[in-house]
Each structure stands twice: as structure tokens, then as C-alpha cells.
Amino acid sequence: LSRLFAEHDFLAIPVIDAERHVKGIVTVDDIVDVVQEEATEDIQKIGGMEALDAPYLEIGFASMVRKRAGWLAILFVGEMLTATAMGFYEREIARAVVLALFVPLIISSGGNSGSQASTLVVRALALGEVKLRDWWRVVRREIGAGLWLGAILASIGLARILVWQLLFHTYGDHYVPIALTVAASLIGVVMWGTIAGSMLPLVLRRIGFDPASASAPFVATLVDVSGLVIYFSVASLILRGTLL
């Protein structure tokens, strides 16, 4: 209904029953309230919680904590998979502790690029700018964007490792393969972040869920787990024979 108003600049829409009797009128000021409420709900879901349905300072403390605890606990259980995933690579970490240092940097880059992508698609879906049938156009855009964004972060990462190596000799003799591992992982993780982040809202809508549940923290958690696998796989490939 609010989309009707937005698209046609109507001031009021009559509501009629089956016999075409007017049952009431929806005016634009009702719609302003609804639009604000819907945006608030979407924003809170994007922030990774249930919609509060009440102003922040007025909602009861217990019900606010409940509405935040649910998603937080789900995300926590999902994020536990990172401990499992890292457990698989415990031997590699023990051999090359330097690998562990870059874990937060790399997985968070995937989470950040994924948050951007999911937020864009969630909002575009809510406004009707993107439909389910546009999924292929979205994927193509996000693969391209991921490649560019990944390359930008990889260059910054490369520069940082080389400068630190030059100044402090931080990364020892194997700094070239380490730098390559970080750069290649960044491109992979950021691309995976943009693809997963943009597709998740579409998948949720397709199976009947609210796309806005593809929150920034949800996407970040998803990409954290898979980002670790990408990172350590790349590391095994590049560092086999030297550090590992």
C-alpha cells in the first residue's frame, strides 16, 4: 500500500468491501507513520535483532533483552563453527603462528563487504527496486564489485606487509609467500562476502522469510566461518613446502 502512495503521489485511498461500499479512507499521513515504522523494523533487523515495536527508552528492559538475546544466541552458536574450523587447522597454526595474526583482519573484511551487499539488496527489495527475477543481474554486479573491492583491500594489505617487513622485519624470511597468501585470501573472501551477502536476502525471500533477517551480523557470521576455510586453504596451497 505504501508503495502505491510513493509511486502515484496519491493523497488518500478509499477502502471498499466486496459490495463496493466505502469502509474507510487511508490518508497519506497514516502512511508516513507506517513507512517510518516499517523502516525502523527493517533497520533493527539489519542490526541483528527482532524489531522492538516500541521506542528504545520506553520498551521494558526484559523484553528488549529478549528481543536481542535470540538472534545473538543464534549467531553465537553459528560462530562456534569458527572454533571448529580453526580446530581443523590447529597444526598449521602451531607451525606458523603468523597465520593466526591475520585471521580477524581477513574474516572481518569478508563480513564487512557482505554487510554492504546484504544491506543494499534488503533495502532494494523493500522498495521494490530489485525483484527476485533480477537475481542474475545482482550476482553479476556483486561478483564485479567483490573483485574490485577485494583487489583494493589486497593492495592495501600487501603494502602494509611489505612496509612493516622493510621497517621492522616483522614477518621473517617467508614474507613474500605470507603476503601473497593474505592478498589472495582477501580477494577470495571479499568476493565470497559480496556474493553471499547479496544472495542471502533473495534466498530468504524465495523461501518465504523476511529478507531483512539477512542482517549485517548474520552475513558476517556466515562469512566468518567460510572465510576461515578460504584463508587456510589458500595458506596450505601457497605455504606448503616453506612455512607449512
Distances (CA, A) of 116 to 67, 150, 190, 217: 24, 13, 11, 11
**Scanning the structure block, which residue is given the C-alpha cell 542482517?**
215
* Region binding a copy of itself by CB under 8 A among candidate stretches 7-15, 17-25, 200-208, 235-243: 7-15
Nearest to 120 by CA among 222, 219, 5: 219
Residue choice 1, 16, 100, 166 for contact with a copy of itself (CB under 8 A): 100
By CB under 8 A, residue 185 contacts a copy of itself: no
**Other CB atoms within 10 Å distance of the CB of residue 44:** 19
Contact between residue 107 and residue 189 where contact means Cβ atoms under 8 Å apart: yes
* Region binding a copy of itself by CB under 8 A among candidate stretches 17-25, 39-47, 172-180, 234-242: 39-47
> How is 113-131 classified by DSSP, letter by letter?
HHHHHHHHHHHHHHTTSS-
By CB under 8 A, residue 209 contacts a copy of itself: no
By CB under 8 A, residue 143 contacts a copy of itself: no
By CB under 8 A, residue 53 contacts a copy of itself: no
Q: Which three cell numbers stand for residue 2?
A: 505504501
Residues 211-230 that bind a copy of itself (CB under 8 A): 215-217, 220-221, 224, 228
Residue choice 21, 22, 23, 97 for contact with a copy of itself (CB under 8 A): 97
Binding residues with a copy of itself: total (CB under 8 A): 95
Residue choice 13, 26, 64, 244 for contact with a copy of itself (CB under 8 A): 64
b/e string for 128-163 if b means 16 or more Cβ within 10 A? eebeeeebeebeebbeebbeebbeebbeebeeebee
Distance of CA 101 to the CA centre of its chain: 23
Residue choice 26, 124, 203, 229 for contact with a copy of itself (CB under 8 A): 124
By CB under 8 A, residue 94 contacts a copy of itself: yes
CB of 23 to a copy of itself, least distance (A): 20
Residue choice 112, 181, 185, 226 for contact with a copy of itself (CB under 8 A): 112
Nearer to a copy of itself (CB atom), residue 199 or residue 216 = 216
Residue choice 15, 104, 237, 242 for contact with a copy of itself (CB under 8 A): 104
C-alpha span between 70 and 147 (Å, rounded)? 34
